[in-house]
Chain A
Amino acid sequence: MAEAKSISGATPDEARAINRFFWLATGAWFFTSVLAHYLIWNWVPWF
């Protein structure tokens, strides 16, 4: 029986690759956000 197609059409390997990109992008987003908040805190502490 041919491999069942997933709902989104992605194969397991593609899904794993997308997930790796997802976590890379999320990590980059968090790093940038922490850096921005650190810089802004040094400029105008908000507490």
Chain B
Amino acid sequence: MWRIWMLMDPRKVIIIGGALVATIVATNHFVQLSTKYSCWLDGTGSGTCLAPAPSAARNVQHNAPLPGG
């Protein structure tokens, strides 16, 4: 694998790769912030704005049941 650095300039990889990763990570954080389950900025303290998390997230019906029961 080390031969890759004889083909690709590490400085360009760091700058372009860094910008790409930063964009993806920023997008993820804003998506998380937009949900009611993880809006860590609102409220008086961290997490005080959260919607009451279901007791067991596993048994919560998120969408319509499948046809045919």
Contacts and interface: CB of A to CB of B under 8 A. Distances in A.
A15 B3 contact: yes
Contacts of B7: 6-8
A18 B47 contact: no
A18 B8 CA distance: 11
Interface residues on B, range: 10 to 19
Nearest to B13: A22
Contact of A15 (B6, B38, B47, B53): B6
Of the listed residues A8, A16, A43, the one surrounded by the most CB atoms of chain B closer than 10 A to its CB is A8
Interface string A1-20: 00000111111101110110
Given A8-B7, A8-B9, A44-B37, A15 B57 contact: no
B1 interface: yes
A18 B53 contact: no
Contacts of A43: 47
A13 B57 CA distance: 52
User: Which 6 A-B pairs have CB atoms at the shortest separation, nearest pair first?
Assistant: A6-B6, A19-B2, A15-B5, A18-B5, A8-B9, A16-B2
